[in-house]
Structure 1
Amino acid sequence: MSRVRIAALLPEHAEQVLAVYQAGIDEGDATFETRAPDWTAFDKAKLPGHRFVALDGDGRVLGWVAASAVSDRCAYAGVVEHSVYVHPEARGRGVARALLDALIASTEAGGIWTIQSGIFPENTASLALHERAGFRVIGTRERIGRLHGVWRDVVLVERRSPLLK
């Protein structure tokens, strides 16, 4: 992976981050969302210490990863849900793995014990990436939601911290 730098996701990256998000949405196998949110909504939903961008040598955003709290209940304080998106032209270069590694490091340091996500079963590249990064499949939520009028399944994955005691 040449000339890729992982950095904190900041407001200055907003336009490019949301464009990468929309590109993933438009492909149809990344999320039930049909439109990227505006920056204010995105920023409010993502935990500040657990969001990163991958930048090329010119400072262009190649991808991003971010985590959100799954609940405001104290019992779930160490559980987050994450998303990772890579620009279509930057795929196959290790960008997503570098982003996941940064997220894992930040969550380990922050006392997070579980990182989870839901992935469409058709998104085989994301499922393989997550498996290589230490995530395991928990199960499949069948026909959990509709996207463009079509029922979709979601594979639940999680990574439990080895620091969990």
Structure 2
Amino acid sequence: MTEASKREDRSGSASISSSSAVIVPLAAEHAEQVLAIYQAGIDEGNATFETTAPTWEAFEAARLAEHRFAALDADGAVLGWVAATKVSDRCAYTGVVEHSVYVRPDTRGRGVAAALLKALIDSTEAAGIWTIQSGIFPENTASLALHKRAGFRIIGTRERIGRHQGLWRDVVLLERRSPQVV
């Protein structure tokens, strides 16, 4: 995330300062904008090991339909998105998902990511999911702070876990355990 993303709503509130923004289920009609936001995050270099956004078909197939959301402005433009994937097909992990959250660079600092995380948390808790996890590059301090405000905790660091742009990168592992699903 850029310096602008470090200005994300520090209160942890899920409100969006623009009264016209709304959180909706992520749908195929959002595909082009969602993938462009994903690619912008990829291009910044501290969001993911991926080097290019997938096709919409691959994106959609990998993410759980009931746990993906978009933030839209009054004109229907996508401001950001959040989506979860299954961690494993093993039945012991049915209550564990991994997520990603991305916000359009020019709309960071407006509480969009916090609102998207709240929508994800609400949907996963309603579905009986007890753990949301994520891996974040340690250099992505804005995302780490956002997740901490949303109730995630650091559970460890995977050191030099993969190469990215010619460098070995660490990944900080975070999780949010549901206080409602026991």
Aligned counterparts, 1:108-147, within 5 A: 108-147=125-164
TM-score (norm 1): 0.99
Aligned residue identity for 1:128: A
Equivalent residue number for residue 39 of structure 1: 56
- What SS class does the counterpart of residue 130 from structure 1 fall into? helix
The whole-number CA distance in structure 1 between the counterparts of 2:180 and 2:22 is 27
Equivalent residue number for residue 162 of structure 1: 179
Q: Which has the higher contact order (CA 8 A, sep 6+)?
A: 2
The whole-number CA distance in structure 2 between the counterparts of 1:14 and 1:110 is 25
The whole-number CA distance in structure 2 between the counterparts of 1:119 and 1:5 is 26
Conserved in 1, the CA contact under 8 Å of 2:137 and 2:169?
Answer: yes
Equivalent residue number for residue 74 of structure 2: 57
TM-score (norm 2): 0.90
- What SS class does the counterpart of residue 20 from structure 1 fall into? helix
- What SS class does the counterpart of residue 88 from structure 2 fall into? coil
Instruction: Report the Cα offset of residue 161 of structure 1.
Output: 0.4
Instruction: Report the Cα offset of residue 163 of structure 1.
Output: 1.4
Q: Which stretches of structure 1, 4 residues or longer, exceed 3 Å deviation after superposition?
A: none
Equivalent residue number for residue 76 of structure 1: 93
Conserved in 1, the CA contact under 8 Å of 2:26 and 2:70?
Answer: yes
**Structure 2, unpaired ranges of 5+:** 1-16
Aligned equivalent of 2:116, options 82, 85, 99:
99
Q: Does 1:88 align with 2:105?
A: yes
Q: Does 1:19 align with 2:36?
A: yes
The whole-number CA distance in structure 1 between the counterparts of 2:33 and 2:181 is 35
RMSD: 0.5
Equivalent residue number for residue 7 of structure 1: 24
- What SS class does the counterpart of residue 59 from structure 1 fall into? coil
- What SS class does the counterpart of residue 57 from structure 1 fall into? coil
Instruction: Report the Cα offset of residue 164 of structure 1.
Output: 3.0
Identical-pair percentage: 76
What is the count of residue pairs matched by the alignment?
165
Conserved in 1, the CA contact under 8 Å of 2:125 and 2:181?
Answer: no
